[in-house]
Amino acid sequence: MTEPVLSLSGVTRSFGALKVSDAVDLDLRAGEIHALIGPNGAGKSTLIKLISGEIEPDAGRIRFAGRDLQGLDQAARARLGLARTFQVSSLIPDFSVRRNVMLAVQAREGSGFGFVRQVSGDSRLGDAAMTALGRVGLQDRAQVPAAELSHGERRLLEIAMALALRPRAFLMDEPMAGLGSEGSGALIGFLDSLRGEAPILLVEHDMDAVFALADRISVLVGGRVIAHGSPDDIRADADVRAAYLGEE
Amino acid sequence: MAEFLNERRMSLAIALALLAVPLMAEWLGNSFYTTLATRAAILALAGVGLNIALGSGGLISLGHAAFFGIGGYAVGIIASHHQAYEPLMTWPLTIAATNQMPVLWLVAILASGLAALMIGALSLRTSGVYFIMITLAFAQMIYYFAVSWPAYGGQDGLSIYVRDGFPGLNTLRPLDFFLLCYAVLMVVLALVRMISGARFGAMLEAVRQNPARVAALGLSPFRIRLVAFVLSGMVTGLAGALYADLNRFVSPSMLSWHMSGEIMVFVILGGAGRLFGPVAGACIYVLFEHVFGGVSDYWQFFLGALLLGVVLFARGGLIGLAAGRARHD
């Protein structure tokens, strides 16, 4: 069996006395969507931060694309091909939608340090950005400042920026949050088609989306993975029902 | 688009006005105003330097006098050797002193850039008020070092008996020296404009607005800020070199925190992050100093009132007030 794209083993992190991640084992294989679910405060976002490098684990290892990520900062992990979308949209508010994506294209090319060639006339950056925007259906909003987008459009722009990075894996923290049922329906269809491009570790509260998309599901409660399996297994799991699904 | 054109027109007007003053003055045979305009152009250049860090990068440095002073001392020290017919150093190799501005400028730019690299590498690990305090602390360290360095004048400073030369110009003539400083200012503004429109400028702007996003895209905000800080220090250092030759004198006051504050006033008054903001700010500063300075010793009261008004009611500075918000397509 080939090595998973991303694997966590024994990842532990405490804030004071509180263990927010407790010996988490998790992996993400090529071509799949692996959903991470759990009640509020279960440590899902912490886990995303641990993987992306925003915080460091106290113990445990994280491997990605055949490398140990220990000691690599966020930027280095992103360059390895980890594309993250944020729970609360994180954009460059004064930049137009197109410029936001152009920044991602520029980052993918690893060039923050061009001093001569003007960005506005760089059709290669612009075209790549428009391609990514076209895929999420934001091409008509390309010239609008990101600050003026609706909530749903911001979520889509986040995804367009992640696409423009052409990553090896996506880390998506609640991409459906705050989308109407129509919006999330469209996004489910899109993410479904995305798994062939790169696997997705999906943190999501929307159970319709999770059960429609996930190849595998891990359930996180109190920082521990209490169950792991196919959507059917999880639906049938008594512990999960008691700890989590029952509350819904 | 209309607003953008408006800013360009305004920039052009400021550039032409700064050029017109000394030309008029020379025509009227009063070179005092030429020197005043030269001072405005040089201080503007110092502000253009700070604006790269403060305006574009959001790095509030209260230590830019360090770079201004290092640029000045680079010129002053070399001049002191030159006028004593001494080489700069004799070991391991002999380097003769020079009075040629292009060489002096290069030395000033390299020295201030190196200082900015070291100060930036340490202080950019902090942010917010700590960054302000650390940049201030570094500048004060250099200030006290200059005060207590008797070989180069200590507290009394260094005099440059004859202004350094530039090939093909008579820098002793006020108009020639003004035109030289003005040309340097315009060339630097053109370079800053080019850089801010290029990939580095886009990244720096993005880092100012949302560093976490830039890190998530795979570029290190620290490195982008450090490069900006070094460029910023180099430009302010070049301004210091010109300032030394303008006054034919350097002293620790060029390194003091008052100077850092003044440079910051140019930027904020004119408009942080606007290309011609520091130029407008420095011109108004020099104008106030001249007009109200003749009326009262407390002329800075009027400047303070203006600055207060700008900070409270025109966050984009005077350029922002006239030309509206900055645009990013």
Q: How far apart are CA A176 and CA A156, in angstroms?
A: 10
In a domain, A247, yes or no: no
Interface of B with A (CB under 8 A): 194-195, 197-203, 205-206, 209-210, 212-221, 223-224, 227, 326, 328-329
For the cut 80, the answer to whether the pLDDT of residue B66 exceeds it is yes
pLDDT at B4: 55
- Whether A179 is covered by a domain: the verdict is no
Helices (H), chain A: 44-52, 74-80, 97-108, 123-136, 151-164, 181-194, 207-213, 231-236, 238-243
Indicate yes or no: CB of B328 within 8 angstroms of CB of A102. no
| C-beta atoms of A78 and B217 within 8 A | yes
Do A102 and A146 fall into the same domain? yes
Convert the pLDDT of each residue in B45-54 to its tens digit. 999 999 999 9
Compute how many other C-beta atoms are within 10 angstroms of the C-beta atom of residue B309: 12
Q: What pLDDT is recorded for position B262?
A: 96
Given a cut of 50, whether residue B1 has pLDDT beyond it is no
Whether A11 and A41 share a structural domain: yes
**Mean of per-residue pLDDT scores for chain B:** 93
A94 touches chain B (CB under 8 A): yes
Q: How far apart are CA A10 and CA A62, in angstroms?
A: 9
* Angle, CA B257 vertex, CA B254 and CA B258 arms, to 5°: 75
**Alpha carbons A52 and B65: distance in angstroms, whole number:** 39
Question: How distant is the alpha carbon of residue A78 from its chain centre?
Answer: 12
pLDDT at A245 over 60: no
Residue A131's pLDDT is 96
Chain B residues within an 8 Å CB radius of A86:
212-213, 216
Mean local confidence (pLDDT), B169-183: 96
Nearest to B218 among A79, A117, A118 (CB): A79
pLDDT at A248 (0 to 100): 45
In this predicted structure, what is the pLDDT of residue B82? Answer: 92
Residue A182 forms part of a structural domain: no
Tell me: do A199 and A77 sit in the same domain: yes
**Domain count of the fold of chain A:** 2
The answer to whether residues A60 and A119 belong to one domain is: no
Percent of chain B with pLDDT over 90: 79
> Is A46 part of any domain?
yes
Residue A178 within any structural domain of the chain = no
From A98-102, A190-194, B271-275, B313-317, the region with the lowest mean pLDDT? B313-317
Q: Is A8 a domain residue?
A: yes
Contact A106, A65 (CB under 8 A): no
φ and ψ at residue B158, rounded to 5 degrees: -125, 135
Contact between residue B248 and residue B177 where contact means Cβ atoms under 8 Å apart: no
Among the partner-chain residues A54, A110, A119, the one whose CB lies closest to the CB of B197 is: A119
DSSP B250: E
Report yes or no on A245 lying in a domain: no
Architecture of domain B2-323: Orthogonal Bundle (1.10)
Is residue A69 domain-shared with residue A117, that is, in the same domain? no
- pLDDT-derived band of residue B264, with 50, 70 and 90 as boundaries? very high
Average pLDDT in the A6-35 region?
94
Between A186-200, A234-248, B149-163, the lowest mean confidence (pLDDT) is in: A234-248
Query: DSSP labels for A40-75?
Result: TTSSHHHHHHHHHTSS--SEEEEEETTEE-TT--HH
pLDDT digits (tens, 9 = 90+) for A49-81: 999 999 999 999 999 999 999 999 999 999 999
User: Across-strand partners of A84?
Assistant: A171
Q: Which of B239, B193, B259 is nearest to B56 (CA)?
A: B193
Whether the per-residue pLDDT at B14 is higher than 50: the answer is yes
User: Nearest chain B Cα to A161, which residue?
Assistant: B217
For chain A, positions 49-68, list CB contacts with chain B under 8 A: 52, 54
Provide ipTM, 2 decimals. Answer: 0.90
Q: Identify the pLDDT of residue B329.
A: 57
What is the pLDDT averaged over residues B276-305?
A: 92
Of A52, A112, A161, the CB nearest to B200: A112
A104 → closest Cβ in B199, B201, B217: B217
Tell me what pLDDT residue B235 has: 98
* Alpha-carbon gap, residue A31 to A197, rounded angstroms: 7
pLDDT at residue number A241: 77
Percent of chain B with pLDDT over 70: 97
- Give the structural domain span for A129: 91-166
CB pairs A-B closer than 8 Å: 105
pLDDT over 60 at B148, yes or no: yes
Residue B327 is predicted with a pLDDT of 60
Q: What are the tens digits of pLDDT across the range B196-210?
A: 999 999 999 999 999
Residue A200 lies in a domain: yes
Among B92-96, B251-255, B256-260, the range scoring the smallest mean pLDDT is: B92-96
Same domain, A195 and A214: yes
Contact B219 A107 (CB under 8 A): yes
Q: Domain holding A2: CATH number?
A: 3.40.50.300
Nearest CA in chain B to A143: B329
**Claim to verify: residue A101 and residue A143 sit in the same structural domain:** yes
Q: Where are the domains of chain B?
A: 2-323
Model pLDDT, residue A6: 96
pLDDT of B84: 87
Residue B91 pLDDT greater than 80, yes or no:
no
